[in-house]
Amino acid sequence: LRLFLDTAEEAAWRAWLPSGLFHGVTTNPTLLAAARKPCSVGEIELLASAAFGLGAQELQAQSWGRTAKALYTNGRALAAIDDRVVVKVPITREGAEAAARLIAEGVGVTMTAVYAAHQGLSAAALGARYVAPYLGRMNDAGRDGFAEIVAMAELMRAAGGATRILVASLRAADDLVRLARAGVDTFTFGPKVAEALFADPLTAAAAEAFEKAAEGG
């Protein structure tokens, strides 16, 4: 099982990375904007230093640009920050062209903005380290995100290869349970879902009872 914390908020990293629950962190331009941080190599270099200092084994940062050349150039600059930086690239034709060059140079790449099982095939053919389907946004669009990701997992198992499905756009702990039961083992989610992975009223009541007993209550 491999979990990632999906945020660019360093306070959330400080709160969660020492827990040992997460393999690393994932970011993208939207999350950087939400954290009021510029999408730049310099900013991501600072984020990488903070994340690795807090125990992250990988920082996944998204490249940007409208052309394959721009996506490659920015991705190359992100990869040069640290070997533990994985470059995220949208699964467009331009993204695939940039990813192919980065992967050929030994850079770890995540193909992102994935909404359909067949895109998992493309990511695996490219030799991507991860392919990131957006469960919640698939469902928002009226698709059966769960079925699409299970189909992707089936095709990836049949095709072989090392590309891992990294499910994003997760909004409830039950999303992870259902997908993990179907054999999916890599997920990225924000602090709210991280909290939900521990939340249970009976657990809270039992913990309170332990505290009272320990205090002689």
Interface ranges with ligand E4P (CB under 6 A): 6, 28, 31, 112, 134, 136-137, 168-169, 171
Please state whether beta strands 24-26 and 2-6 pair in parallel, antiparallel, or not at all (unpaired): parallel
Distance CA 177, CA 198 (A): 13
Least gap, CB of 168 to ligand E4P (angstroms): 3
Least gap, CB of 140 to ligand E4P (angstroms): 7
Can you state the angle between helices 117-126 and 145-159, rounded to 10 degrees?
A: 30
Least gap, CB of 207 to ligand E4P (angstroms): 29
Does the active-site annotation cover 88? yes
Closer of 31 and 89 to ligand E4P (Cβ):
31
Closer of 2 and 171 to ligand E4P (Cβ):
171
Instruction: Give the max Cα distance, the chain.
Output: 67
Closer of 74 and 169 to ligand E4P (Cβ):
169
Closer of 84 and 137 to ligand E4P (Cβ):
137
One of 37, 88, 192, 212 is an active-site residue; which one? 88
Closer of 6 and 58 to ligand E4P (Cβ):
6
Least gap, CB of 158 to ligand E4P (angstroms): 26
Least gap, CB of 3 to ligand E4P (angstroms): 13
The C-alpha R_g of the chain, in whole angstroms, comes to 18
CB 149 within 8 A of CB 184: yes
Which positions are annotated as active-site residues?
A: 88
